[in-house]
Structure 1
C-alpha cells in the first residue's frame, strides 16, 4: 500500500466528506494504491480503559482496531489526514487515535530514550494534514497558538518519524462562497502527491 488516508469527521454531509471524496478520486486517477481509515464509521473508541493503559509499556492492546491501524501505518509511504479543526486543534477522536495507536516498543511506533522520543514510523516519507476551520488560517497561526502546525504537525508527527509534513487549511468555512469551495476542491482533485 502506498497511501493511508485517516479521515476524522462524523457527518457524511460535511465539507470534509466532500474533500475525502475528491481525494479518493485524485488518488484513483493517479493510480495510487490507498487504504482508508474512517474513525467514526469504524466506531473507533478513542478512550483508554484501565486495562488498555496497563498494557501500554509492553506495546499491548485489547482493541483489535489499534493493531490494524498500527500495521497500516507501518506499511505505507504517505499519510493523509482529513479532519476539521475544532477549538483550535484536532478533534478528540483524532487525539485519541494518536494516544492509543502510537505504541511504545522497538517494533511499534516509537521508543522512549533519555533524550526524548525516537520515532519508528520513518517509512512515512510524506504526510499531508488537510483541515477545515471556522477561523481564518492566519488567526489560527498568529492568535490561537498555531496548534495544528506547531504541536500536531511539527512536534507529534515529527517525533513519530513522519518526514515531509505539510498542513493545508481551508479557513472561514462557515462564510465561504460556493465558488471558493469549488476552487479548493479543484485544487484537491488535481494535487500531485510526493
Structure 2
C-alpha cells in the first residue's frame, strides 16, 4: 500500500503547488511510496454526461481516468487532498472527481444498504485535506459553518470508508507574507503523514 496525493489546482505557480512539493518532499524523506493524481494536468473531465450516469449503478464507466483513479484509491493506505477552498467549499473539479470516481458496487468505493451508504474504501487508514483560503481559518470554522470539515471530511469521505480524517488550512493566503508561507511549508514537511 502507498500514499495517494490528489492535487486540485490549475496553476503550476500557485501556493497550492508549493504545498504539493512540500508534501512530496515529506513523503520522500520518510521513505514512503506515493502517487500523484493531478486533476488539471491529467485533463480529468469532472462533468457527468448521460452515458456516465447510465453506467453508474452498474459500477462501470466510459472514462479511462475514472478506472485508473479508483484502482489507485483501492491500493492506497493514505490519501492526501491538496486543494484551494473556493466559495465555501471544494472546487468543482474535485467535486466532479468524487461524483464520477466513487462507484457503487461490490468491490468498488461503496454499497447502498438499507441504512444508507456503506464505504468500501476501508483500506484508507489516514486521510488529510490540505487547503488554502482567502478567508482566515477561524472565519471558515465559526462564521461559515466549517463545511469543509463538517461535510466533506466528516460526511462524504467518512461515508466512503476513509479513516482518521484531518483538515489543515492555510488561511488569508492572499495577504500572507513570504515568511509566513515559508514557515507553513516547513510545517508541512514535518507532519507525520
Fold shared per TM-score above 0.5: yes
2:93 is the alignment partner of 1:93: yes
3-state SS of paired residue (1:139) = helix
What root-mean-square deviation, in Å, do the aligned CA atoms of Structure 1 and Structure 2 show?
Answer: 0.6
How far apart are residue 145 of structure 1 and its match? Answer: 2.1
How far apart are residue 129 of structure 1 and its match? Answer: 0.2
Structure 1 equivalent of residue 167 of structure 2: 167
Structure 1 equivalent of residue 111 of structure 2: 111
How far apart are residue 54 of structure 1 and its match? Answer: 0.2
Structure 1 equivalent of residue 31 of structure 2: 31
Structure 1 equivalent of residue 78 of structure 2: 78
Query: 1:6, 1:101 → 2: CA distance?
Result: 12
Alignment of 1:179-194 (within 5 A): 179-193=179-193
Query: 2:15, 2:126 → 1: CA distance?
Result: 24
Taking structure 1 as the reference length, the TM-score comes to 0.98
**Unpaired stretches in structure 1, ≥5 consecutive residues:** none
Query: 2:144, 2:192 → 1: CA distance?
Result: 30
Query: 1:38, 1:95 → 2: CA distance?
Result: 14
Query: 1:191, 1:159 → 2: CA distance?
Result: 25
Moved more, 83-92 or 142-151: 142-151
2:102 is the alignment partner of 1:102: yes
**Unpaired stretches in structure 2, ≥5 consecutive residues:** none
Query: 1:29, 1:13 → 2: CA distance?
Result: 23
How far apart are residue 141 of structure 1 and its match? Answer: 1.1
Deviating 4+ runs (over 2 angstroms): none
Taking structure 2 as the reference length, the TM-score comes to 0.99
